[in-house]
Amino acid sequence: MNDKVKIVGICGSLREGSYTRMALAIALRGAGEHGAETQLIDLRDYQLVFCDGGDSDDVPREVSRLCNEVKRAQGIILATPEYHGGYSGVLKNALDLMGFDEFEGKMIGLLGVSGGGMGGGGALAGLRNVGRALHAWVVPEQVAIANVDAVFDEATGACRDSDVEQRLKSLGQQVAKFSSLHNSEHAREFLRLWEGAPANPGGEDR
């Protein structure tokens, strides 16, 4: 990768021994193998207030810390357990405390886990809507893991399923790859030249 990018993964689970966190760590490992700098954002480490929808210049320190860390990233992986067909409340609150400054124009990868057989599809659908609303690019690759307690070793965090492990790494690699291409000076220069090019006279009626 020519342009080193930063990829953050936001873990939407507060549970000790979280399978979501285990899966996210593997996805970030894939991004790292593709040359990206990575950071796992564990929301247990932030004393976040509840979003009240108000506009205030007095942003709590912990909210500002979260926002600044996400702003510095070129790519984001959102990871969540599925609760009642949607993504977790703690992730919802964290996303509500952020906005366009943190997400617009960035690459987002999605990861959902479920204790049942549905695999987090409902949670991922909700997060895709969030990505669109914040004008982010949601990469085609996504990972939904069903019956997650059978996939990971709770004591060690090891993935027992090599196919799932490869899918998780591929998710991280794709976020890193597209983030790098999007961040590339060559790509930006190409877009500037393309937008400034004169109209093709061959397309005119004669």
What's the pLDDT tens digit per position in 102-116?
A: 999 999 999 999 999
Share of the chain above pLDDT 70, in %: 87
With a CB cutoff of 8 Å and minimum separation 6, the contacts of 73 are: 5, 6, 7, 8, 39, 106
pLDDT for residue 164 is more than 70: yes
Find the length of the chain.
206
- What pLDDT is recorded for position 189? 66
- What DSSP state is assigned to residue 159? B
List domains and CATH numbers for the chain. Answer: 6-198 (3.40.50.360)
Contacts of 83 (CB under 8 A, 6+ apart): 89, 123
Residue 190 pLDDT > 90: no
Distance of alpha carbon 198 from alpha carbon 23, whole angstroms = 48
Write down the pTM of the prediction. 0.88
**Banded pLDDT at 194 (limits 50, 70, 90):** low
